[in-house]
């Protein structure tokens, strides 16, 4: 009787150890850094890291296997402990076994193993990857039936899957919180990189009304003066009407053509011959695809057209990079003169300022899915072309129209609070 009881207790302890293994495995494999495992596989060819990756890619099967194994050994250990307690103390052994096994399982099979695994997730996951992989393989038929039963009960074709991109955005937001300005700026840049696949060139392009274009039919001396006064190094070249783009003039190309002329006489210079062939892109092109296209073609400048082939504006490589790192100014840039802080806390804003730039500068949340500029969203929200002096409140911002040029809103005063002081425009 004593030997059989000793063996029973030994079996219970073994089952507790197996339960601790399953508990630590669940925590370690779910908490292990996927990025670190990827680097171990890529740089060192670590086979254990490859096993961890394989287990993490089938997370539902892994969790199901661990739950089956863990619950099975816990139930078996509790049943055996109850049997041993009844043999020792009679019917009162049920309550005693329940109390003792609850303490032992919670402390030694759950809390301690999971706490250790959480603090040593990467190291422990590498050690236990092989045995866990074997258990997963052995219990595959059972886990498959279990998942099938769950899907039938919940009436779903697959288990909930978290978007990798959403998960990455969440991690960026998490690490950007409660940090310094540099950390927040880094988080904003990383988020902007993810946004490149969702933003079209239409949202960041310079509209054709603001494009500094060169008329190929103008006098060469006038063109030279215009180019030298401009802060830009590239200019679209048109013939006849501004929508008829025939090329792109680079300042270096123009100066080189003048230099190559021994007499330095530019009266007979043809800008159309100097200009390079224009690169046209549709307005719906995503920024990530356009960035790749710029790199592949070694281009920095593109003409944006709509579905009918009409000119919409221009977009440059710098425009795309500014979506990631923010405004890039050099010694020739005039700065962001379109947004001016006033003494009363309001801002004077040019109507052509893009909503993405305005949101970034003033920390606003104006939606940019219906319009790309400040003037555009005011017209969209008001459903008409407002008159000078009209005021609007939407999305937590107060707007007052300051100036118009024809039907174009050119200047707006805005307050970032819904109830600013009543200040004359």
**Residue listed under structure tokens 């997370």:** 59
Work out the number of other CB atoms within 10 angstroms of the CB of residue 22.
25
d(CA 253, CA 263): 17
Q: Which residues contact 253 (CB under 8 A, 6 or more apart)?
A: 274, 275, 276
Phi, psi of 162, rounded to the nearest 5 degrees:
-85, 130
280 vs 130, 202, 303, 313, 319, CA distance in Å?
A: 55, 13, 5, 10, 16
Q: Is the pLDDT of residue 204 over 70?
A: yes
Residue 76 has pLDDT above 80, yes or no: yes
pLDDT of residue 330: 58
CB 114 within 8 A of CB 43: no
Instruction: Give the residue from 114, 119, 136, 138 showing the smallest Cα distance to 52.
Output: 136
**Can you give the C-alpha Rg of the chain in angstroms?**
34
What pLDDT does 420 receive? Answer: 47
Phi, psi for residue 330 in degrees, rounded to 5: -125, -175
Q: Which residue has the higher pLDDT, 331 or 96?
A: 96
264 versus 231: the higher-pLDDT residue is 231
User: Is the distance from CB of 34 to CB of 50 less than 8 angstroms?
Assistant: no
Neighbouring C-beta atoms of residue 327, cutoff 10 Å: 12
User: Which runs of consecutive H residues, i.e. helices, occur in 47-180?
Assistant: 47-57, 59-89, 93-104, 112-119, 121-138, 140-154, 164-176
pLDDT, position 262: 64
Rounded-to-integer distance, Cα 327 and Cα 316, Å: 13
Give the residue, 60 or 164, on which the prediction is more confident.
60
Percent of the residues in the chain that have a pLDDT greater than 90, as a whole number: 18
64: tokens are 């199901």
* Alpha-carbon span 202 to 151, nearest angstrom: 43
Under the banding of pLDDT at 50, 70 and 90, the label for residue 89 is confident
Phi-psi region of 156 (alpha: psi -120 to 50; beta: other; left: phi over 0): beta
CATH number attached to the domain at 339-415: 3.30.465.10
Helix ranges restricted to H, 212-314: 220-229, 251-260, 271-274, 287-297
Mean predicted confidence (pLDDT) in 303-309: 90
pLDDT at 219 over 50: yes
Query: Whole-angstrom Cα distance, residue 10 to residue 95?
Result: 21
For range 197-219, the mean pLDDT: 86
Ramachandran region, residue 155 (left: φ > 0; alpha: ψ -120 to 50; beta: rest)? left
Please give the CATH topology (third level) of the domain spanning 201-325.
CBS-domain (3.10.580)
How far does CA 6 lie from the centroid of its chain? Answer: 59
Of 139, 105, 143, which Cα lies nearest the Cα of 18?
A: 105
Q: Please give the average per-residue pLDDT across 314-318, as a whole number.
A: 91
**Taking a C-beta distance cutoff of 8 angstroms, is the pair 249, 234 a contact?**
yes
Nearest to 363 by CA among 324, 411, 425, 417: 417
Report whether pLDDT(302) > 90: yes
Output the pLDDT for position 3.
47
CA–CA separation, 198 and 286 (whole Å): 6
Burial class (CB in 10 A: 0-12, 13-18, 19+), 258: middle
Mean pLDDT within 167-172: 73
Burial label for 142, CB within 10 Å (0-12, 13-18, 19+), is: middle
Task: Tell me what the pLDDT averaged over the chain comes to.
Answer: 83
CA distance 118 to 374: 49
Is the confidence at residue 425, as pLDDT, over 60?
no
Angle formed at CA 288 by CA 248 and CA 166, multiple of 5 degrees: 160
The token pair that represents 268 in the structure block: 């007979």
| pLDDT tens track for 37-52 | 888 888 878 888 888 8
Top-confidence residue, 150 or 305: 305
pLDDT interval class at 424 (50, 70, 90): very low
Order of strands, sheet of 214-215, starting from the edge strand that comes earlier in the sequence: 214-215, 234-238, 245-250
**Mean pLDDT of all residues in 315-320:** 90
Predicted pLDDT at 17 = 93
Q: What is the pLDDT of residues 130-164, one digit of tens each?
A: 999 999 899 888 888 887 887 788 766 554 444 66
Residue in the structure block whose two tokens are 């002329």: 261
CA 39 to chain centre: 22
Q: Is 60 exceeded by the pLDDT of residue 1? A: no
The band of 373, judged by pLDDT with boundaries at 50, 70 and 90, is confident
């Amino acid at each position: 009787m004593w030997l059989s009881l000793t063996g029973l207790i030994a079996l219970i302890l073994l089952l507790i150890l197996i339960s601790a293994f399953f508990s630590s495995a669940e925590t370690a494999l779910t908490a292990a850094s996927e990025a670190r495992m990827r680097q171990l596989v890529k740089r060192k060819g670590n086979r254990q890291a490859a096993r961890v990756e394989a287990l993490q890619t089938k997370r539902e099967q892994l969790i199901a296997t661990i739950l089956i194994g863990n619950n099975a050994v816990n139930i078996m250990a509790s049943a055996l402990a109850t049997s041993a307690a009844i043999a020792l103390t009679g019917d009162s052994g049920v309550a005693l076994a329940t109390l003792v096994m609850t303490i032992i399982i919670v402390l030694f099979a759950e809390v301690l193993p999971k706490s250790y695994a959480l603090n040593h997730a990467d190291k422990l996951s590498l050690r236990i990857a092989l045995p866990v992989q074997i258990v997963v393989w052995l219990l595959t038929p059972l886990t498959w039936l279990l998942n099938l039963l769950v899907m039938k009960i919940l009436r779903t074709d697959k288990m909930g899957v978290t978007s990798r991109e959403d998960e990455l955005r969440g991690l960026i937001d998490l690490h950007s919180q409660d940090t310094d300005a540099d950390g927040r700026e880094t988080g904003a840049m990383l988020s902007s990189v993810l946004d490149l696949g969702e933003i079209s060139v239409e949202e960041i392009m310079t509209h054709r009304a603001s494009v500094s274009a060169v008329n190929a039919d103008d006098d060469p001396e006038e063109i030279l003066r215009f180019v030298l006064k401009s802060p830009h190094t590239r200019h679209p070249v048109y013939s006849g009407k501004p929508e008829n783009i025939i090329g792109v003039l680079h300042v270096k190309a123009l100066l080189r053509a003048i230099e190559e002329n021994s007499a330095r006489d530019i009266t007979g210079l043809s800008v159309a011959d100097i200009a390079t062939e224009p690169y046209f892109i549709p307005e719906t092109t995503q920024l990530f695809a356009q960035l790749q296209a710029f790199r592949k073609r070694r281009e920095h400048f593109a003409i944006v057209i709509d579905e009918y082939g009409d000119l919409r504006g221009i977009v440059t490589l710098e425009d795309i990079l500014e979506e990631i790192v923010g405004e890039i100014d050099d010694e020739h840039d005039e700065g962001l003169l379109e947004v001016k802080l006033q003494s009363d806390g309001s801002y004077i804003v040019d109507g052509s300022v893009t909503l993405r730039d305005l949101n970034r500068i003033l920390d606003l949340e104006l939606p940019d899915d219906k319009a790309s500029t400040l003037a555009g969203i005011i017209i969209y929200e008001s459903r008409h072309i407002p008159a000078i002096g009209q005021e609007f409140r939407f999305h937590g911002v107060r707007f007052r129209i300051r100036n118009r040029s024809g039907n174009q809103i050119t200047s707006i005063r805005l307050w970032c609070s819904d109830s600013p002081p009543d200040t004359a425009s």
